[in-house]
C-alpha cells in the first residue's frame, strides 16, 4: 500500500485526525503548533514538560491520548532539540522520528505540523517534500514473499494517508507533493526489486519489470538485448561474467523522450542479481546479502520511473546489464582474458570483481549508441567503499567538476548524500596487467577508487560520474531492507536539469 499525501491549512487544534504531530523544542519554548495545542488543551504540553515526561531532546517522542479541547484523537510530540540548533539535519531527524513513531500506532491517517517549523535556508516546498518522503520511507513494508496469514487474524490498521500543514496551499506546494509522490514511487520500486530473493529476481525478472514500466507509460520505449545480441556486438566482458549462470543475461534499455531532439542523459545500473563471487567464491557468512547486488539497477530504474511520472522535459536512457555471477563448469576463471566491447582486453584476476566487467560493456554500449550528454552509473561495486565511507554516504567518482557539484547538491537537497573520492591518474598503475590492457582488480589499497579507475578507462572523453552505493543501498542484518538509494539523488539531479 502506498502512502497518500495532502496538505492542510487548518488550525492544529481543529483537525479531526487519529494523530496530530507537533514539535517540542528543548528548553523553554514549544513549537508554534505545539503552542496552540497547549493553550487549546489548557496547558497539557506545558505540564508534560514540567513533569519531565517530555524533554524535547532530538530522537525522543511522547504520545498523548484524548486531550481536552483538541479534535485529534492523539497528539504526538516530537523532540526537536535546541531551537538555535534546529537545522536541515535536525529537521530530517524529527520527520524520521515522527514517521517511525506513527508506523507503530494502530492508525490509518495522521496530520503533521512539523512542516510549519522554520528551517534555515529551506522553503515550504522543500520541507513538505522531505517530510512526505520520510513518511513513505517508514510506511513501506515488504510483503511479497510471506506466506498468506490466516484470514481472520486481526490486522492492525496501517498508515495510508498523511496531511502536512502549510501556510497556504499554493502552486509550489502542489509541485512539491508531485515530486514527493514520484520519488516515493521510484524509491518503492527500487526497494521492492532489491528485497526480492534472487530466485525470483533474476535477469529475466528485471527485464519483465522494465517491460511493465514501458507498458504502463506512454512515451517510454524498451529494448532487451539477449545473449545472442550481445555476442554479435562483442560484449565479451559482460558475457564472461554471465557464462557460469543458468539464467541468461539481459541488457535492458529504457528510453524516455521528453526533450525533443536534445542529447539524452544516461543512467547505467549494476544488475548482478546474485553475486556468489563466481569461482573466486565468497565466504558463506553474509553471502545472502549479495541478492542486493542489483540495487544499482533498481536505483536507476526507480529514478527513470520517477522522471517519467513527472514527465520531465528531457531525454533519458536507462541501461541495465542484468547478470548472475555463479560458479560452474562454464564459469569464467581467474587468468581468463576477456575482450570487451570497447576492444580493450581484460585480465580476470578475481571473478568476484564482476560488477566492473558488466558495467564496462554497458558503458561502452551506452556511449556508442546514444551519444549522451552525461552518463551516470550506480553500482554496489566495492566493499572498500563501505570501509571508506560507511553506511551514510555513497561514493562519488568523476573527473568532471561541474557534474560532481551538481550530484553532490542533488544528494544534499534530498538527504541522499554522496561524498567524493579522487580518480587521479596515479591510481591507474594499480590496474596494470602483464597479459592484457587492464587487470580487473587493483590490489589491496583504495579499492573503491581503483574500481572507479577501471570504469574510467571505458568512459574516456565523456562526461561521466560513478556512484558506489555498496554502503547505502541496503541496511545490514537479518531484517535489513533495501533503502531505495540513490533514487532521490538521481531524480533530483534530473529535475534540476529539466527545463
Ligand atoms: N558486490 C560486491 C561488492 C560488495 C561487497 C558490496 C560487500 C557490498 C558489500 C562486488 O562485486 C565485489 O565482490 N567486490 C570485491 C572486489 C574485490 C574482489 C576487488 C570486494 O569488494 O571485495
Ligand atoms: Mn563480486
Ligand atoms: Zn558484485
439 lines ligand 1 (CB under 6 A): no
Which listed residue (122, 175, 227, 282) is catalytic?
282
Task: Give the pLDDT confidence score for residue 357 in this predicted structure.
Answer: 99
For β-strands 418-420 and 394-398, DSSP reports them as: parallel
Best mutation site among 287, 352, 356, 384 for ligand 1 pocket (most ligand atoms within 8 Å of CB)? 352
- On whether the CB atoms of residues 411 and 467 are closer than 8 A, the answer is no
CA pair distance 66, 50, nearest whole angstrom: 19
- Beta carbons within 8 Å of 412's beta carbon, 6+ residues apart: none
Considering only residues 156 and 266, tell me which one the structure prediction assigns the higher pLDDT. 266
The mean per-residue pLDDT over the stretch 375-399 comes to 98
pLDDT in tens, 157-208: 999 999 999 998 899 999 999 999 999 999 999 999 999 999 999 999 999 9
pLDDT in tens, 8-43: 999 999 999 999 999 999 987 888 999 999 999 999
Scan for cell 524516455, then name that residue. Answer: 256
Topology of domain 4-167 in CATH is 3.40.220
382 lines ligand 1 (CB under 6 A): yes
281 lines ligand 1 (CB under 6 A): no
Distance 446 CA to ligand 2 centre (A): 16
As given in the structure block, the three cell numbers for residue 475 are 541496511
Ligand 1 atom nearest residue 385's Cα: 21
User: Taking 80 as the threshold, does the pLDDT of residue 317 lie above it?
Assistant: yes
Task: Give the pLDDT confidence score for residue 245 in this predicted structure.
Answer: 98
pLDDT band of residue 478 (cuts 50, 70, 90) is: confident
Query: Per DSSP, what are the bridge partners of residue 5?
Result: 162
Distance 25 CA to ligand 1 centre (A): 43
CA pair distance 473, 485, nearest whole angstrom: 5
User: Taking 70 as the threshold, does the pLDDT of residue 152 lie above it?
Assistant: no
Best mutation site among 323, 382, 483 for ligand 1 pocket (most ligand atoms within 8 Å of CB)? 382
Q: Residue 449: is it exposed, middle or buried by C-beta count within 10 angstroms (0-12/13-18/19+)? A: buried
Query: Per DSSP, what are the bridge partners of residue 65?
Result: 74
350 lines ligand 1 (CB under 6 A): yes
Distance 303 CA to ligand 2 centre (A): 24
Whole-number percent of the chain with pLDDT over 70: 99
Residue 469 to residues 14, 39, 392, 395, 472, Cα–Cα distance (Å): 45, 48, 10, 7, 5
355 lines ligand 1 (CB under 6 A): yes
180 lines ligand 1 (CB under 6 A): no
Average pLDDT, the chain: 96
| 147 is a catalytic site residue | no
380 lines ligand 1 (CB under 6 A): yes
The mean per-residue pLDDT over the stretch 439-467 comes to 98
Distance 221 CA to ligand 3 centre (A): 28
| 270 is a catalytic site residue | no
Task: Give the pLDDT confidence score for residue 72 in this predicted structure.
Answer: 98
Q: Domain spans of the chain?
A: 4-167, 183-498
pLDDT band of residue 243 (cuts 50, 70, 90) is: very high
pLDDT in tens, 330-377: 999 999 999 999 999 999 999 999 999 999 999 999 999 999 999 999
Task: Give the pLDDT confidence score for residue 194 in this predicted structure.
Answer: 98
Distance 452 CA to ligand 1 centre (A): 13
Task: Give the pLDDT confidence score for residue 476 in this predicted structure.
Answer: 85
Closest residue by CA, ligand 1 atom 7: 383
470 lines ligand 1 (CB under 6 A): yes
Closest residue by CA, ligand 1 atom 22: 383
Task: Give the pLDDT confidence score for residue 1 in this predicted structure.
Answer: 66
CA pair distance 51, 58, nearest whole angstrom: 18
Task: Give the pLDDT confidence score for residue 31 in this predicted structure.
Answer: 83
pTM passes above 0.85:
yes
Distance 158 CA to ligand 1 centre (A): 37
Query: Per DSSP, what are the bridge partners of residue 318?
Result: 254, 267
User: Taking 80 as the threshold, does the pLDDT of residue 151 lie above it?
Assistant: no
Topology of domain 183-498 in CATH is Aminopeptidase (3.40.630)
447 lines ligand 1 (CB under 6 A): yes
pLDDT in tens, 43-56: 999 999 999 999 99
Angle between helices 124-139 and 171-195 (to 10 degrees): 30
Q: What is the 3-state secondary structure (H, E, C) of the chain?
A: CCCEEEEECCCHHHCCCCCEEEEEECCCCCCHHHHHHHHHCCCHHHHHHHCCCCCCCCCCEEEEECCCCCCCCEEEEEEEECHHHCCHHHHHHHHHHHHHHHHHCCCCEEEECHHHCCCCCCCHHHHHHHHHHHHHHHHCCCCCCCCCCCCCCCCCCCCCEEEEECCCCCHHHHHHHHHHHHHHHHHHHHHHHHHCCCCCCCHHHHHHHHHHHHHHCCCEEEEEECHHHHHHHCCHHHHHHHCCCCCCCEEEEEEEECCCCCCCEEEEECEEEEECCCCCCCCCCCHHHHHHHHHHHHHHHHHHHHHHHCCCCCEEEEEEEEEEECCCCCCCCCCCEEECCCCCEEECCCCCCCHHHHHHHHHHHHHHHHCCCEEEEEECCCHHHHHHHCCCCEEEEECCHHHHHHHHHHHHHHCCCEEECCCCHHHHHHHCCCCCCEECCCCCCCHHHHHHHHHHCCCCCCCEEEEECCCCCECCCCCCCECCCCHHHHHHHHHHHCC
Amino acid at each position: 500500500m502506498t502512502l497518500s499525501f495532502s496538505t492542510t491549512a487548518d488550525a492544529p487544534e481543529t483537525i479531526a485526525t487519529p494523530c496530530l504531530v507537533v514539535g517540542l523544542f528543548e528548553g523553554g519554548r514549544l513549537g508554534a503548533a505545539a503552542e496552540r495545542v497547549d493553550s487549546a488543551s489548557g496547558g497539557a504540553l506545558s505540564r508534560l514538560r514540567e513533569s519531565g515526561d517530555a524533554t524535547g531532546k532530538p530522537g525522543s517522542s511522547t504520545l498523548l491520548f484524548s486531550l481536552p479541547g483538541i479534535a485529534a484523537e492523539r497528539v504526538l510530540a516530537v523532540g526537536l532539540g535546541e531551537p538555535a540548533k534546529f537545522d536541515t539535519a535536525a529537521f530530517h531527524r524529527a520527520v524520521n522520528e515522527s514517521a517511525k513513531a506513527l508506523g507503530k500506532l494502530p492508525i490509518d491517517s495522521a496530520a503533521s505540523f512539523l512542516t510549519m517549523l522554520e528551517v534555515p535556508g529551506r522553503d515550504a516546498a522543500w520541507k513538505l517534500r522531505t517530510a512526505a518522503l520520510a513518511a513513505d520511507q517508514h510506511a513501506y513494508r515488504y510483503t511479497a514473499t510471506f506466506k498468506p496469514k490466516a484470514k481472520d487474524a486481526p490486522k492492525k490498521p496501517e498508515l495510508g494517508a498523511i496531511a502536512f500543514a502549510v501556510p497556504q496551499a499554493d502552486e509550489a506546494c502542489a509541485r512539491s507533493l508531485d515530486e514527493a509522490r514520484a520519488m516515493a514511487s521510484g524509491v518503492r520500486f527500487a526497494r521492492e526489486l532489491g528485497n526480492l530473493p534472487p530466485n525470483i529476481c533474476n535477469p529475466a525478472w528485471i527485464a519483465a519489470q522494465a517491460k511493465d514500466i514501458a507498458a504502463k507509460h506512454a512515451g517510454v520505449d524498451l529494448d532487451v538485448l539477449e545473449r545472442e545480441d550481445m555476442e554479435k556486438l562483442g560484449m565479451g566482458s559482460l558475457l564472461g561474467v554471465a557464462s557460469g549462470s543458468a539464467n541468461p543475461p539481459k541488457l535492458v534499455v529504457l528510453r524516455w523522450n521528453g526533450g525533443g531532439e536534445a542529447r539524452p542523459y544516461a543512467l547505467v545500473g549494476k544488475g548482478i542479481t546474485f553475486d556468489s563471487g563466481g569461482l573466486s567464491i565468497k565466504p558463506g557468512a553474509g553471502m545472502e546479502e549479495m541478492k542486493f547486488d542489483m540495487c544499482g539497477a533498481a536505483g536507476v530504474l526507480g529514478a527513470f520511473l520517477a522522471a517519467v511520472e513527472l514527465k520531465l522535459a528531457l531525454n533519458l536512457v536507462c541501461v541495465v546489464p542484468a547478470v548472475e555471477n555463479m560458479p560452474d563448469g562454464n564459469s569464467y576463471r581467474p587468468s581468463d582474458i576477456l575482450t570487451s566491447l570497447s576492444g580493450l582486453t581484460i585480465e580476470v584476476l578475481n571473478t568476484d570483481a564482476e560488477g566492473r566487467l558488466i558495467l564496462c560493456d554497458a558503458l561502452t554500449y551506452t556511449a556508442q549508441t546514444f551519444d549522451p550528454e552525461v552518463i551516470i552509473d550506480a553500482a554496489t561495486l566495492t566493499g572498500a567503499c563501505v570501509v571508506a565511507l560507511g553506511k551514510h554516504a555513497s561514493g562519488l567518482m568523476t573527473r568532471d567538476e561541474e557534474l560532481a557539484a551538481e550530484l553532490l547538491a542533488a544528494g544534499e537537497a534530498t538527504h541522499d548524500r554522496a561524498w567524493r573520492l579522487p580518480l587521479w591518474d596515479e591510481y591507474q598503475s594499480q590496474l596494470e596487467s602483464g597479459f592484457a590492457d587492464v587487470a580487473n582488480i587493483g590490489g589491496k589499497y583504495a579499492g573503491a577508487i581503483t574500481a572507479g579507475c577501471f570504469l574510467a578507462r571505458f568512459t574516456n572523453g565523456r562526461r561521466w560520474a560513478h556512484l558506489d552505493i555498496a554502503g547505502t543501498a541496503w541496511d545490514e542484518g537479518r531484517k535489513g531492507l533495501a533503502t531505495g538509494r540513490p533514487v532521490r539523488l538521481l531524480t533530483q539531479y534530473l529535475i534540476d536539469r529539466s527545463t
